[in-house]
Structure 1
């Protein structure tokens, strides 16, 4: 009896060793908390069984989830240690050791999860599986899928039934999204931030099967094929890479005004080593051509601020920069003059004058140079009702090209005519200075124009070319210098003591200074700096002397009459004109119709300027040396000329001289002689022979006069020089207003 009991206990022990149990956590009463499962096979239903996933010839057995009796295995539900999972799913512990695989499938699917399944007859083997912590129903199903895969079997969901059999190349479920259900199948993962091609390169290492990954470029999605666990690993990797990479980035867009955005991005990549160096991934640069801007994406705000600083530094004009429109605001000179200079520069070095600028002549400049060697030395005239100005399109304006002017400039018939027709002045504002510098070789395309309304120079060129133009414009558009010119025009009567003229009187020391002494420098210095162009002589007076010294000395010997004493301030290289006199009408042509003898006689009249006319163009050199082009004329109608073609007597001095600021130059030597004889008496009686002299008186007037011109130039560079010149003008006006003679230092 005792032996029989021992044999029964041993049999029970063997039965327990061959089974697995899932015990509740913290509770040893298995009977109260356990779920008794019958793991014996149910009656197969071949007509309802699906095909085996492995393609085995053996038909799988179909099992219902209903319990049919006690089972050699017991699956026990564990009590919940916390809040239940969403959906109220129970938690289980697994503890199978050397159990039959078919029994494990029956315990998990049929008894625990209540899922219908179809299992191939090829499924079998001994397995061991345990769980250290409670598992949810979903985790339990995933653990079974992994257990089957490790033994060469797969689990595929077909409708509401799980099909279990050998692994096959086809079939399975299709999942869309980020979750992969247990079992063999496909997972389609739509991508939001990364392209499918790029993602395939990133996650290819997570897919074991060579054909387990597909790319859907049309929908920008990834297709993963394989068992549930492996698919889930691949899906998790895809989701981790498909992230918004700009969510934690600092983004900025900076406008580029001068340089090319592509060139700036290339330089920024080198500065930050952002392509393959230490800065790769921390900061990225992208050129936006449409906005002419650079987009910066950085990890931190500090990197963003540093990138912005470098964008501003690199935004400079380069030779590779595109063409653009640049505007330069002229400060001191006229924009039309600056544009004309730059246009002529590109015309000279471009296509040989082809396509050069078309300019409208500017009237009223005061000086016009016609052909050199004009026969009329000073023929200022006006024809009919038209005013003076430019008469020929080939004439060159001395006011615009002062450096090339010479004494022959005063030969122009328009010299000194400072009046202009308002209509012509209006046309000058619309001068067309457009110039295309390209057209020959590889010269860049350059367009230069002047905006007279805003006094600006508008240039269309690339950045490199404009830098050269801008440098030239800044040098040309400098602060203009001015010259204060004081002139004294006097007529000296030559008496017996001065019968040889002022030159001899000065050289003989008649003014009390002696030859080449004191403040005079005769022929020594003057011969080097004065260019005589008319008969006469030039004397350079030192800066400490005044014309009044010479005038006072001459006045003590003879009669000196000051004809004019003008003072004016003129900008450098600009003409200054002073004129006091009359316009004399002169008939140049008469015409009458030959068809009608009673037709009126038509006269063509020109007006001739007479009187005292002074024209000066100063140019400032180094060390305050002033070079002046001087044209001085005194003209008048001869007495007794009452016809329409009067005789005009004229005395004219034209010279090109150079003096130091503050010095006075004396121009003299123009001597005129007058010899008049007359008879006054009683009419009829004075004409009687013999006794006519008793009733009449004969007169004879002979005199000789010499024209003397004193010119003093003073450079005005700043406000102090201007104030000094103004003070001198005021003192001269005060003396003239009092009617007194200017003080003479004796």
Structure 2
């Protein structure tokens, strides 16, 4: 079939016109979303008279009051944008006092975001936009409106969960990331400030329902809050956590002594109060003759630096006479150490090492022998000899009742004269300036605060005694007239009592006593006693001891100390009789008193790494009331003499005793006790089992500053105060009420002391009866 040309030419323009009409589509209209069933309305003429009036007028392009930046647009999560079918299609909001769930449902259809609403989320919401807004901005407006109502939106796995703000932190929300929104968690790692001290500053900035916590382990702060508020908190932390909060500097001293100038500057700039910016620490380093400054602000550091420069001036009238005030060391002991350093004298002669040190200090080794004179406070010579260390003497110095630290020691060696004044604890030094500087370096290194050691000892003794005894005693005779008397008395206790109480039943031995009584019998010289024919005795005794002793002792490093808690008991060591005038005699006894109780002798030595070496002698003694001998009293004694190494705060068992003992005794009548069956009536048997468990534990604490000492003191103080409070007398209607003495409160007894957490101590903890361990 053939097409005719004219008809084709006629139809072609019509086809082109139809295609052009199909290709020109009407521009997309903005969606108007209101609260009617949560449905987006494409035809705005159905939303009410107000909306109809607005739609009849030509709608101008809305003016954006707050233009969005790139970071603000990035607040919408990437997952939300990917699922948003409308993208940046404009949306107009018109919710007036609408139900929250209806608003969320409408916004879910408009933005494509999936929501999960908690049943506890209830209320009305007003959300109106005067003009068109992008879909993602409408989502941000919903988040802000819900936040004002006390609700929060947390994105968990692509689903926005609407929950009360207090529960938002419990959901698995995302960690903080730049350009995100919603409830998030962020960790701030501080470099200079203390995380715990910063919590009170940041707490008012964070929402009341959201947590903020400090982790002292790595000095970090963890905050859960809205992303916008986390960004503001980050700016605040960056402004506070700066290195300017701790300003340090080192100043080299050219003319003076660093330690002397540092003490003067620190005293002048010391301020009272809690303002940390005004705090300043000035410490002199004797090794480099420099001063180290640490303050809370650069201005305070600059003030200290200028003051040091002004004090570090060359003296106009130099002098070789110097007075050194010691802060910690004792002048007499330190003078003896300097004498050994300058002269090099010892028990074996002059040390080559000491001569080398003296030569380096500028002294003359030929005259290093020098002279030494030790005088008492009145100036009278007390002897001569050699002393080394800190008071360990050798030679021929006689004992005058004063130690080296109490004497005014003077000596001259190598052009140096040193006089120790024990009254003011100072050293008077006459030496050239270069040699004096070297001596001051040594003196300042030795004149340091010595550490102290608190030694806590725990002595635990648990003993158990289990004894069983059975015996039969017989008696027969006719003492009413003339006749014979006989019987069996076993077990060390007579059947007829004692002369002091011949008719009392309480003279019978301990245990179960079963006998046959036939009135009384009158024994010449004794009196009337019970006429016991047969006495059977059975006894089972059980005893135990549980002793816990916790002696504590504080002493200086490398100084011996001792503590004794007990009694001084006299022991008779001998007796004799001297004849007096006529027929009288004078008896005498020699008595020796011994200490019975708890004794602890210790000498600690602290190494550079914090290890403590302890030379210990510990003794526990007591009087054994169950054992008695004719010679006198029996005492139990347990002692340990040893040397151990412990770390600071380490507890270690020092020694002990585990003992199990068994004893058996049998008193019997020969031949009769061997009769089968009846032999038990002629025997007295006793068996006992003894167990003793003794352990000694020890723990040292090193105290290097006053804060550590105050912490232990407050702990012991509160412990004793609570013990006194628990022993107050009870109220009695028959007697007047009295108040037992009690320690005052810590604030009154120790001014400036603050309550701190109790430090772990070794002590007995009372357990109430019925309480389960």
TM over 0.5: no
TM-score between both structures, scaled by the size of structure 2: 0.32
The structure with the largest alpha-carbon Rg is 1
Q: Which structure carries more relative contact order (alpha carbon 8 Å, separation 6+)?
A: 1
TM-score between both structures, scaled by the size of structure 1: 0.33
